[in-house]
Amino acid sequence: MKATALEFRFRFLIHAVLYGLGFVVPWNKWLHLDTVRTWQWLASWPSRAGWLGFSASTVAVLVVGVLFALVAALLRTWGAAYLGSGVVQDAAMHGDRLVAAGPYRYMRNPLYLGTFLHTFALALLTMPSGALFMLVTIGVLELRLIGAEEAFLTEKLGEPYRAYCAVVPRIIPSLRPRLASSAVKPVWGVAVLGEIYMWGVAFSFAALGWMYNSILILQGVMVSLGLSLVMRALLPRQGAVQVGR
């Protein structure tokens, strides 16, 4: 199961469309499936079970959302610092040489894992049907993109990449590095700017979530998206290498 070259080229647009559909959830309006957002729906579970009051449950779900958004931003920035933001944002695949440094010593696809964790955070702001749609479609898209990239890298790099795949997990990170680090220096400043959207979403959850207003958080998400589009236009396009995303 791997993505086509067209899917890879327009992967950012496809992500945006799927996220947008998750928030619009037209079937929800037609079928009257949901009346509350996923945040409230999840918070009601421990409240109904008598484990926590509804207010405490709401705070607990918010903390989970903040953690998911923050870990997603950290993971993607860590990966982009070693891979190069130019490679991360490029429409074409790259496979010049194998780099096993930073997060790529623990897993092969930290950027895709970061995106999926980010999806869990955004899903809290949608209706439950939209959250399910978002998680399933984004999950399938990530797996298809991983399949396409790993097939490409296997063809380009051959046995060294196959040996790398044999010891480094695809998505679930190892608790310890699986191999020695290659000589690649991270570029943190550009990586942070390249992932400004992820950091903006994490900040929106952390700073605005305590007002318990999902619309306000969504406004922060949209501002973050606008900043990221500006950064994509300003950042250099070239990057060194690729071992996964």
Token representation of residue 20: 């947008």
**Which DSSP category does 109 fall into?**
-
CA dist., res. 126 & res. 129, Å (int): 8
* 170-209 pLDDT, tens digit each: 999 999 999 998 888 899 999 999 999 999 999 999 999 9
CB atoms inside a 10 Å sphere around CB 193: 19
CB atoms inside a 10 Å sphere around CB 230: 11
CA dist., res. 168 & res. 182, Å (int): 14
Return the pLDDT at 208: 95
CA dist., res. 188 & res. 195, Å (int): 10
Return the pLDDT at 238: 52
Token representation of residue 33: 């499936």
Q: Tens digit of pLDDT per residue, the chain (245 long)?
A: 799 999 999 999 999 999 999 998 877 777 777 778 999 999 999 888 888 898 999 999 999 999 999 999 999 999 999 999 889 999 899 888 788 999 999 999 999 999 999 999 999 999 999 999 999 999 999 999 999 999 999 999 999 999 999 999 999 999 999 999 888 889 999 999 999 999 999 999 999 999 988 999 999 999 999 999 998 888 876 544 445 56
**DSSP per-residue string spanning 115-178:** HHHHHHHHHTTS-HHHHHHHHHHHHHHHHHHHHHHHHHHHHHH-HHHHHHHHHS-SSSPPSS-S
Return the pLDDT at 99: 80
Return the pLDDT at 240: 44
CA dist., res. 203 & res. 210, Å (int): 12
**Which DSSP category does 103 fall into?**
G
Return the pLDDT at 101: 94
CA 93 to chain centre: 18
